[in-house]
């Protein structure tokens, strides 16, 4: 039974004198090989009954009964538990949908879509002059620091002394510290250099 590329087999009891696809006596299970792991369902009680009254399984059905452990039960062999594997339970559709929505909401909004080629070139052209100016500004202070070669401890001491002076001036003139810092900022820069 089934359809192309999705077979489905029934395990049936039938009379050997009847046609292979003819009327069956009883359906005792099913086999669906198209999934991983394959689905094998056999009514063990009915399979053992029919084996006990003399039913002869085909090679394929015997192999399936060995996997489920029913053949070992019938013959009295060890391994009656069989080697049947079961698929893990699938989460409910609503749970999977909610997880997908959360994952989509966590994606970054910026850069989620690809810009057209002309838009990328235009953005790159506008950012190039800004990068060149930023590089020149950054390189000049680095050169000043290497020329003076002031130890880090001396710089920290000077910064703390300047902040103490600013606080003292702010308290003496009774002005807010923010205004005092703005007024004293040029003086602090000249002392640090």
- In this prediction, residue 127 carries a pLDDT of 78
Q: What is the pLDDT of residues 170-182, one digit of tens each?
A: 666 665 555 545 5
Q: Are the beta carbons of 40 and 68 closer than 8 angstroms?
A: yes
Q: What is the pLDDT of residues 68-86, one digit of tens each?
A: 888 888 888 887 777 777 7
What's this model's pTM, rounded to 2 decimal places?
A: 0.46
| Second-level CATH architecture of 2-75 | 2-Layer Sandwich (3.30)
| Residue with more model confidence, 49 or 113 | 49
Among 37, 86, 83, 45, residue whose Cα is nearest residue 64: 83
Q: Are the beta carbons of 14 and 25 closer than 8 angstroms?
A: yes
Q: Which residue ranges make up each domain of the chain?
A: 2-75, 150-193
- In this prediction, residue 22 carries a pLDDT of 81
Distances (CA, A) of 74 to 55, 66, 79: 12, 10, 11
| Residue with more model confidence, 19 or 161 | 19
Length of the chain (residues): 193
């Amino acid at each position: 039974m089934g359809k192309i590329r999705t077979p489905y087999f029934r395990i049936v009891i039938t009379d050997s004198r009847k046609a292979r696809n003819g009327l069956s006596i009883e359906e005792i299970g099913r086999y669906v090989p198209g999934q991983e792991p394959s689905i094998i369902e056999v009514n063990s009680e009915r399979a053992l009954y029919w084996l006990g009254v003399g039913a002869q399984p085909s090679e394929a059905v015997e192999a399936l009964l060995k996997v489920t452990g029913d053949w070992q039960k019938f013959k009295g062999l060890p391994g009656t538990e069989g080697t049947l594997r079961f698929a893990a339970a699938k989460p409910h559709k609503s749970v999977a949908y909610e997880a997908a929505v959360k994952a989509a909401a966590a994606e970054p909004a910026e850069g989620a879509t690809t810009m057209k080629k002309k838009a990328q070139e235009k953005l790159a052209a506008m950012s190039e002059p800004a990068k060149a100016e930023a590089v020149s500004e950054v390189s000049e202070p680095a050169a000043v620091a290497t020329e003076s070669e002031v130890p880090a401890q001396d710089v920290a001491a000077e910064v703390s002394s300047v902040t103490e002076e600013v606080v003292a001036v702010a308290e003496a003139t009774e002005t807010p510290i923010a205004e005092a810092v703005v007024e004293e900022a040029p003086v602090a820069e000249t002392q640090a250099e």
